[in-house]
């Protein structure tokens, strides 16, 4: 999956489906309303991990990788061995 969870709501804000559904849709009077709601929820971040955060179960317990650190599993001295 993409790691996104979108929920649909009735006009009064009541959820119309379980939040674990990947994507849900609802009819609306204005064509932009569902798109606007999805955009606001996505940009606010409560339903989707941001690109800088690891997805649950994918290294969530590890600190974020720093640009100046080698990726996990790579020998930090590999470039020195190649240059020798």
pLDDT at 12: 74
pLDDT at 25: 58
Q: What does the DSSP 8-state code read for residue 45? A: -
Question: What are the residue boundaries of the structural domains of the chain, listed by start?
Answer: 1-60
Question: What b-and-e string marks burial along 19-57, b requiring 16 or more CB atoms within 10 Å of the CB?
Answer: eeeeebeeeeeeeeebeebbeebeeeeeebeeeeeeeee
pLDDT at 54: 56
pTM exceeds cut of 0.85: no
β-sheet bridge partners, residue 15: 9
SS3 35: helix
pLDDT at 65: 55
pLDDT in tens, the chain (84 residues): 455 556 666 777 776 655 555 555 566 565 555 555 555 554 545 555 555 655 555 555 556 655 665 556 666 666 666 655
């Amino acid at each position: 999956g993409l790691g996104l969870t979108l929920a649909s709501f009735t006009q009064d804000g009541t959820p119309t489906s379980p939040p674990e559904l990947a994507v849900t849709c609802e009819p609306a009077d204005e064509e932009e309303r569902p798109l606007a709601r999805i955009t606001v929820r996505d940009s606010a971040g409560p339903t989707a991990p941001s690109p800088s955060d690891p997805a649950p179960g994918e290294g969530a317990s590890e600190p974020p990788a720093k640009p100046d650190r080698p990726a996990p599993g790579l020998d930090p001295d590999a470039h020195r061995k190649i240059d020798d």
